[in-house]
């Protein structure tokens, strides 16, 4: 017969009664516990603590509870089982032998656990997220500290796959909210690096800061280490990365230091810091070829402060050249001022004035530049559908180089005329927006140093351009967009008509189809054609593009495909095929297999060079 005795009273209330009454109640508790032994559990709830055990002793003077046999302790928000217990109700602290329990996603066991309302310290135990009787993996450690609802700190940790130890870490920290974790090893092969092993550790050293420590070994190259930090807090963002490469048979180290920091100040102001230091110009392509092209570019290192209030502006920049192989100048300093209000003298007339001073230091040159500009615009709108925007500007350049001075003036005019028409039937609507633009720029000198200015900005130009935008809707749902661009170059010696660009975009549910054409009037051919389709569903993603670029003599098809096979398996491919050469320029596959609590990802690349990688990950913890 099941016997479950439940006692609910407050020790604080016990202290208010007489000593005799207290002894009597304690004697009653002892008698009930005695008859419960060997038959079932005794259950006692004192304050917010619920304890179940085969035997329980209560010390009213010390406010302490002891329990033996099949222990169950509930102290919000956690519940722990064990074999023996001692717990003090006054400070809500104690210990339990052979504890078993759960904290967040983790299941843990150990020889002993020390308890408090916000912390559980497990001695000589292990934890896992696998709920099988024999877990697929577990992390065994001398000490595991659970900070309830916040983080887990593990010291002297061994990672086991089944019963096989894979690696050791002196410290492992996992934030239950920020996903702190050890990165499982990534094993692979590439033609350049040979066989390689990559491992890492993700950590949170400060509030709002995420860090990644990387340790890598490449058979053909050698050892590499890296440290990455990412900071984001409100209007402050930044990231820093440091990589060091110790290559075989090389005395000098190779490395990278990159820092980017943005601080957005009220009134649209900005503080920006950028540092790009590389030991040599080839290191990004050798070690980071998998990064997008933009992230493999080398940028100048500078500090910039851009203060704005309305149209008023103060800009300060200091630029330092750290790499001997790039073409950037030292700029010490650059100052830019715009102190005029945007509307001056007449309603609707906008005047913009900028003044800038810059001091450039090169290897063999020292150039000072004073730049000023005036820009006038007077936009007019008629009947809500017609807009006219005239714009005039003057740019003045004064240079001093080796005590000799050069002066240059660039003037430009722009006239912009746009219309807007809308037609509508019962369900179909059409928006037509033509824009006509005339632009003329005249440079008084073609021989002066632009330095960090783009060269094409100072070339003489006189252009007339037309933009036609069409938007079609069925009720409120977009049907398609059709845009056309054309132009005429007055200064061109021949072929004054620019190629016509036509762009078609057809959106549909969870996807889109698009086509882009460039038609050459003089060659009477489409000099450029690109078309593609992309679609995404819950278990399926596809993207296919076709490009025919006659100016570059390229014609190819590229596509990506990813789909799920069942609940635990997905397959993907990435391919680019050159139709002119008749061969694949890019070919790769990836497989992702999930097995209860573990996952395996396999990446295989056949083109442009052979490379493969494989790594395990824990499905409960993002990788």
Residue 612's pLDDT is what?
87
Q: Residue 252's Cα: distance from chain center in Å? A: 33
Q: Nearest Cα to 610, choosing from 574, 586, 582? A: 586
Q: Nearest Cα to 259, choosing from 279, 278, 233, 234? A: 278
6-45 in b/e form (b: 16+ CB < 10 A) is: ebeeebeebeeeeeeebeeeeeebeeebeebeeeebbbbe
Q: Which residue's structure tokens are 């050249």? A: 321
Name the residue ranges covered by the structural domains of the chain. Answer: 1-98
- Sign for the CA dihedral angle at 144, 135, 106, 96 comes to negative
pTM assigned to the model: 0.67
C-alpha span between 444 and 577 (Å, rounded):
49
Q: Could you tell me which residues come within 8 angstroms of residue 88 by beta carbon, excluding any fewer than 6 positions away?
A: 62, 63, 64, 65, 94
Residue 563's pLDDT is what?
92
DSSP 29-81: HHHHHHHHTTTS-EEEEETTEEEEESEEEEETTTTEEEEEEEEEEEETTEEEE
Q: What is the mean pLDDT of each run of 10 residues along the chain (623 residues)?
A: 38 44 49 46 72 82 82 78 85 86 85 86 89 86 86 86 82 72 78 85 83 91 93 90 90 92 86 93 84 84 89 88 86 81 60 84 78 83 81 82 76 90 89 94 66 57 94 92 95 90 94 94 90 92 95 93 89 94 92 84 86 78 52
Q: Nearest Cα to 193, choosing from 623, 617, 616, 613? A: 613
C-alpha span between 605 and 400 (Å, rounded):
55
Residue 180's pLDDT is what?
65
- Sign for the CA dihedral angle at 286, 287, 290, 296 comes to negative
Residue 33's pLDDT is what?
47
Write the burial class of residue 295 (CB in 10 Å: 0-12 exposed, 13-18 middle, 19+ buried): exposed
Cis preceding-peptide flag for 77 (omega within 30 of 0) = yes
């Amino acid at each position: 017969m099941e016997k479950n005795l439940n006692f609910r009273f407050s020790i604080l209330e016990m202290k208010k009664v007489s000593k005799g009454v207290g002894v009597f109640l304690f004697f009653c508790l002892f008698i009930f516990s005695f008859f419960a032994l060997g038959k079932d559990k005794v259950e006692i709830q004192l304050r917010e603590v619920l304890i179940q055990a085969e035997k329980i002793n209560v010390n009213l003077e010390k406010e302490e509870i002891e329990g033996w046999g099949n222990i169950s302790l509930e102290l919000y928000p956690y519940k722990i089982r064990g074999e023996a217990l001692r717990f003090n109700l006054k400070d809500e602290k104690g210990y339990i032998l052979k504890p078993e329990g759960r904290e967040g996603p983790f299941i843990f066991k150990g020889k002993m656990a020390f308890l408090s309302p916000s912390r559980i310290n497990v001695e000589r135990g292990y934890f896992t997220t696998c709920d099988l009787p024999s877990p697929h993996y577990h992390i065994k450690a001398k000490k595991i500290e659970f900070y309830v609802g916040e983080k887990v700190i593990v010291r002297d940790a061994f990672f086991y796959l089944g019963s096989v130890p894979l690696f050791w870490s002196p410290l492992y920290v996992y934030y239950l909210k920020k996903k702190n974790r050890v990165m499982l090893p990534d094993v692979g092969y590439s033609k350049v690096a040979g066989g390689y092993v990559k491992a890492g550790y993700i950590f949170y050293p400060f509030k709002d800061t995420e860090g990644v420590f990387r340790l890598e070994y490449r058979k053909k190259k050698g050892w590499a280490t890296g440290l990455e930090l990412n900071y984001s807090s409100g209007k402050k963002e930044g990231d820093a990365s440091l990589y060091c490469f110790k290559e075989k048979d090389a005395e000098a180290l190779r490395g990278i230091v990159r820092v980017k920091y943005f601080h957005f100040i009220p009134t649209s102001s900005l503080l920006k810091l950028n540092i790009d230091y590389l030991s040599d110009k080839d290191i990004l392509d050798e070690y980071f070829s998998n990064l997008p092209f933009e992230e493999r570019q080398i940028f100048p290192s500078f500090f910039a402060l851009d203060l704005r209030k309305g149209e008023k502006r103060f800009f300060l920049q200091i630029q330092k050249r750290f790499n001997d192989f790039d073409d950037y100048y030292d700029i010490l300093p650059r100052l830019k001022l715009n102190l005029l209000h945007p509307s001056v003298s007449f309603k609707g007339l906008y005047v913009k004035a900028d003044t800038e001073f810059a001091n450039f230091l090169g290897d063999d040159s020292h150039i000072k530049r004073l730049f000023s500009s005036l820009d006038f615009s007077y936009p007019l709108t008629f009947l809500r559908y017609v807009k006219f925007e005239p714009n005039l500007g003057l740019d003045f350049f004064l240079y001093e180089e080796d005590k000799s001075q050069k002066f240059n003036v660039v003037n430009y005019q722009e006239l912009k005329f746009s219309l807007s028409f809308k037609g509508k039937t019962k369900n179909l609507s059409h928006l037509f927006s033509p824009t006509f633009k005339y632009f003329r720029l005249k440079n008084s000198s073609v021989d002066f140093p632009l330095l960090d200015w783009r060269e094409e900005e100072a070339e003489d130009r006189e252009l007339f351009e037309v933009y036609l935008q069409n938007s079609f809707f069925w009720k409120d749902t977009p049907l398609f967009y059709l845009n056309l661009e054309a132009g005429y170059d007055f200064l061109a010696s021949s072929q004054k008509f620019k190629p016509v660009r036509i762009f078609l975009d057809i959106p549909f549910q969870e996807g889109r189809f698009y086509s882009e054409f460039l038609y050459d009037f003089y060659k009477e051919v489409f000099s450029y054609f690109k078309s593609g389709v992309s679609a995404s569903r819950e278990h399926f993603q596809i993207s296919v593009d076709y490009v025919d670029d006659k100016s570059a003599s390229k014609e190819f098809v590229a596509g990506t495909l990813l789909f799920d096979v069942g609940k635990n398996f997905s397959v993907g491919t990435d391919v680019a095929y050159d139709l002119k050469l008749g061969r694949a320029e890019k070919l790769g596959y990836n497989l992702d297999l999930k097995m209860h609590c573990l996952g395996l990802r396999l990446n295989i690349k056949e083109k442009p060079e052979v490379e493969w990688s494989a790594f395990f990950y824990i499905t409960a913890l993002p990788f």
